[in-house]
Amino acid sequence: MGKPDYELINPASGTRSALPVRSGTIGPDCLDIAGITRDQGVFTFDPAFSVTASCESKITYIDGDAGVLLYRGYPVEQLAASSSFMEVAFLLINGELPGAAELTAFRTSITRHSMINESLLRFTNGFHHNAHPMSMVSAVVASMAAFYYDSMDIYSPRHREIFSHRIIAKLPTIAAAAHKHALGQPFIYPRNDLDYCSNMLSMFFAVPCEEYQVDPVAAKALDLLFILHADHEQNASTTTVRLAGSTGTNPYAAISAGVSALWGPAHGGANEAVLNMLEEIGKAENIPKYLALVKDKGSHSKLMGFGHRVYKNFDPRAKIIREACHRLLAKLGQQDDPLFELALRLEEIALKDEYFVSRKLYPNVDFYSGLIYSALKIPRSMFTVMFAIARTVGWVAHWLEMIGDPAMRIARPRQLYTGPTQRDYVAVAQRR
Ligand code: SDX
């Protein structure tokens, strides 16, 4: 027997509306509120979507109280320990882990799509040398809609597949082009003999005048970070991609919107902001003063890399990244990195502080990731671009899930209007 419906009763008129219960495979039930506007003439009010499930999805599950994250049912800890970013990308997009032949075919297809049109390079080179790379990446990805306009029918499964491989393959190339432009160095073409992360490091750090050897330790560290950043259900940037995509727009344009949404410091931009914050704090003695600042609502400062809309416990990704940071810094001989020591001390103090304890604020995915990027010599302004490269997989998986749903409709929320009531136009000469 199904669960009984909830009911909404208007206390004045007695009008009743059934709120059918919808159950997922795991997680809290949802109330289907679709009938209440028809029956009662009211909307629901949920600014910032704190309690609203905007869609059904089979991709990623989070239990924020228990600190659990599953990709297609697989715990992120297991994937981080044993899988690869390419395998996780296949899993998120297709729903199942690939067989050996499927994985080889997927990797080959991604590798073969990694070159970008030379005109996109000219576009990149048009930016000022100090343009922020997130803005450049967002613009170049949006311009791909112009390059792949005629060949993108969103209702063609083959076109959708080509789009998904193209965008995952080209994001590192676009990011590397932005990086080289900022440095004033020549663009380095992708190499098909390298895996996804090794190729990315080569495009970032090689120069044409000497041979570049990829450090396998660096490639492995990057691969781990990409696995951990690949998807996170209906976060702000994924919701942006879904919303833009729901209009039927070109998917490159929808992904560009996602890049822009990710850039904000409350979202993916926090990884860059964490390093700036650690530098501003400078030394452990200054931590109490900084915590006093973030507790002061008037300061508009936050403890960057802390807190989460869903996790009211440890973000499982932060735990994995902190351990990876220990291992990587030791391997690179940087175990005494003062910013890492400061971050560990800051975490320790914040987790004992009543303000953070009572609000259940824990380190999130962005708290330690920048320290790994720094150790890999990736410049700070590129940190959020790294996040975008990994998250492109999640954006693509969600876009495909949404476009493949025959019940898809344009996303269009309503509002609680608090502006002026109707009034008559007054000619300018008569206005006070
Ligand atoms: C990501 O959604 C996703 O899944 C995102 C993400 C992904 O993979 O896609 O996980 C990636 O975006 C991680 C988050 C990165 N952002 C930061 O690290 C920036 C710092 N954090 C915050 O700005 C904040 O915690 C958010 C934006 C992450 C969450 O915002 P919420 O959900 O609106 O915060 P909340 O309602 O839970 O806050 C409750 C209270 C408030 O205080 P009161 O009004 O109750 O007194 O906690 C306070 C907040 O002001 N608070 C903080 C804080 N985070 C929340 N106070 C100080 N420092 C903080 N970091």
pLDDT of the chain, 432 residues: tens digit per residue: 578 789 999 999 999 999 999 999 999 999 999 889 999 999 999 999 999 999 999 999 999 999 999 999 999 999 999 999 999 999 999 999 999 999 999 999 999 999 999 999 998 999 998 999 999 999 999 999 998 887 789 999 999 999 999 999 999 999 999 999 999 999 999 999 999 999 999 999 999 999 999 999 999 999 999 999 999 999 999 999 999 999 999 999 999 999 999 999 999 999 999 999 999 999 999 999 999 999 999 999 999 999 999 999 999 999 999 999 999 999 999 988 999 999 999 999 999 999 999 999 999 999 999 999 999 999 999 999 999 999 999 999 999 999 999 989 999 999 999 999 999 999 999 998
In short, whether 356's Cβ falls inside 6 Å of ligand 1 is no
**61 phi, psi to nearest 5 deg:** -125, 135
Task: Please identify, by atom number, the ligand 1 atom nearest to the C-alpha of residue 62.
Answer: 4
In short, whether 159's Cβ falls inside 6 Å of ligand 1 is no
Task: Please identify, by atom number, the ligand 1 atom nearest to the C-alpha of residue 237.
Answer: 9
Distances (CA, A) of 179 to 175, 377, 413: 6, 12, 38
Give the C-alpha separation, 234 to 51, whole Å: 12
Which protein residue has the closest C-alpha to ligand 1 atom 42? 359
Q: Is 308 a catalytic residue?
A: yes
In short, whether 79's Cβ falls inside 6 Å of ligand 1 is no
In short, whether 294's Cβ falls inside 6 Å of ligand 1 is yes
Q: Tell me how long the chain is.
A: 432
Catalytic residue among 113, 231, 366, 398: 366
Q: Is 315 a catalytic residue?
A: no
| pTM of the shown model | 0.97
pLDDT of residue 151: 78
Which protein residue has the closest C-alpha to ligand 1 atom 31? 309
Look up residue 26 and give its two tokens: 């795991």
pLDDT of residue 2: 74
Q: Are 350 and 306 in contact (CB under 8 A)?
A: yes
Look up residue 180 and give its two tokens: 């080289």
Give the C-alpha separation, 196 to 212, whole Å: 16
SS3 of the chain: the string is CCCCCEEEECCCCCCEEEECEECCCCCCCEECCHHHHHHHCCCCCCHHHCCCCCCCCCCEEEECCCCEEEECCEEHHHHHHHCCHHHHHHHHHHCCCCCHHHHHHHHHHHHHCCCCCHHHHHHHHCCCCCCCHHHHHHHHHHHHHHHCCCCCCCCCHHHHHHHHHHHHHHHHHHHHHHHHHHHCCCCCCCCCCCCHHHHHHHHHHCCCCCCCCCCHHHHHHHHHHHHHHCCCCCCHHHHHHHHHHCCCCCHHHHHHHHHHHHHCCCCCCHHHHHHHHHHHHCCHHHHHHHHHHHHCHHHCCCCCCECCCCCCCCCHHHHHHHHHHHHHHHHCCCCCCHHHHHHHHHHHHHCCCHHHHHCCCCECCHHHHHHHHHHCCCCHHHHHHHHHHHHHHHHHHHHHHHHCCCCCCCCCCCCCCCCCCCCCCCCHHHCC
In short, whether 365's Cβ falls inside 6 Å of ligand 1 is yes
